[in-house]
Structure 1
């Protein structure tokens, strides 16, 4: 009961402060602890509706540069409060969209991004299915979305913990440093970038976390204070993508 009252507190607090959903406080806590969104960053927000994480991401960019792209299977208007011209949304299924198409939407230059750098500094995923009431099935569906987010962030093969196929052609736009760059990475997330993904704890979640450890310097489990007490919802935060 105490946690439910606390959750209601976050709902009222969000409304009072101008956030479109209390989920804003989940990202605010993650941002306070890990500073995943830095000034002038390129941010990809998967499962962005109704837009609370778009608001927090834009606030975190400071006043100069940066770009936020929100993606959701449902239509999502850019919230008027806390968002500006740097925030854009796209109605699409993250499981079907191509990494190269997302990268092509980036501005050539914005804040900390150099002219030859094409990719996102942060990939956020708050994607979730409506729960079925079947714990095992809900966990499986949650893992599917988490893996889809990881596939976009670090590449299809990497998301499954496998070595990227030697014969797989990666989008030219993702080359670090552009033509003649020193390293080509699969996925939209740049080396040194950060990844935040929601999932339900259960079968496969620990293995998924271990797979992410191959690609990030540090991987942490987080359950923000605004999470409901009865929820198995957790977030994995992957910091500083390795330049493999």
Structure 2
């Protein structure tokens, strides 16, 4: 199947009749899903989530994928990013999907269940890859509270943990992609990324909803050694 970002957007919209027991927020979410061209395109093209288009668009801009890569997808469920990684890495690539929740198998990927913050999960990923990673991806986001400052701190904490994980498993020249919220990464974390990677940029792919505060930090050209050995 040829990948396509043609979302087939139409001017028509669908409205749901209010169902008994359905909250207003639930009603709005369902209407948004029904009218989202990326949701429809993901279903038509066999992607498990609309998020697949985000990593496709980031790849088009930053050239993240190449054949035969070793790739780790953190917080992978339901698996949209993993599907894209498998296709882009090819038959000789290795893709490991890790999530704290159970996840349905994906052909061509090794699916692991565990907390990426635990050393045992890190070791399991390296064993599954049979070597250091070329790319670590993280689309993880905490449950939002509606309080911007709190949500920002929560996502930063997750990004810091994902950054540490990437530092421990990436090979020289590797790349790291992670979701952050508007405002980007904090000064200390950004300084650490700029120290450890040749280039660090922020991007909001077109597939990210306009009313969403999410964006992505893309760090490329890891300066460390195998399994994060940066030397003295």
Question: Does the residue aligned with 1:218 lie in a helix, a strand or coil?
Answer: strand
1:125 to 138, 148, 160: 138
Mapped pair 1:216 → 2:229:
no
Question: Does the residue aligned with 1:55 lie in a helix, a strand or coil?
Answer: helix
1:40 to 68, 73, 77: 68
Match of 1:147 in 2: 160
2:124 to 95, 98, 101: 101
Query: Equivalents in 1 of 2:87, 2:124: separation in Å?
Result: 25
Q: TM-score, normalised by structure 1?
A: 0.74
Query: Equivalents in 1 of 2:49, 2:123: separation in Å?
Result: 30
Distance 1:16 1:195, change over 3 A: same
Following TM superposition, by how much is the alpha carbon of 1:206 offset from its aligned partner in structure 2, in angstroms?
4.3
- Aligned ranges for residues 1-244 of structure 1 at < 5 Å? 8-63=36-91, 65-79=92-106, 84=107, 86-98=108-120, 99-107=122-130, 118-154=131-167, 187-202=168-183, 205-243=186-224, 244=230
Following TM superposition, by how much is the alpha carbon of 1:204 offset from its aligned partner in structure 2, in angstroms?
5.3
Match of 2:8 in 1: none
Query: Equivalents in 2 of 1:135, 1:90: separation in Å?
Result: 32
Superposed CA offset, 1:178-230 (max 9, x none): xxxxxxxxx00111101001111348534422320111111110101111112
Query: Equivalents in 2 of 1:42, 1:16: separation in Å?
Result: 28
Q: CA RMSD in A?
A: 2.1
Query: Equivalents in 2 of 1:229, 1:72: separation in Å?
Result: 27
Question: Does the residue aligned with 2:44 lie in a helix, a strand or coil?
Answer: helix
Higher radius of gyration, 1 or 2: 2
Query: Equivalents in 1 of 2:184, 2:47: separation in Å?
Result: 33
The count of residues paired between Structure 1 and Structure 2 equals 194
Q: TM-score, normalised by structure 2?
A: 0.78
Q: Which has the higher contact order (CA 8 A, sep 6+)?
A: 1
Query: Equivalents in 2 of 1:46, 1:31: separation in Å?
Result: 17
Superposed CA offset, 1:67-92 (max 9, x none): 1001111111124xxxx3x3011111
Question: Does the residue aligned with 1:214 lie in a helix, a strand or coil?
Answer: helix
Match of 2:20 in 1: none
Question: Does the residue aligned with 1:105 lie in a helix, a strand or coil?
Answer: helix
Query: Equivalents in 1 of 2:60, 2:146: separation in Å?
Result: 33
**Greater than 6 Å deviation, 4+ residue runs:** none
Determine which structure has the larger helix proportion and give its number.
2
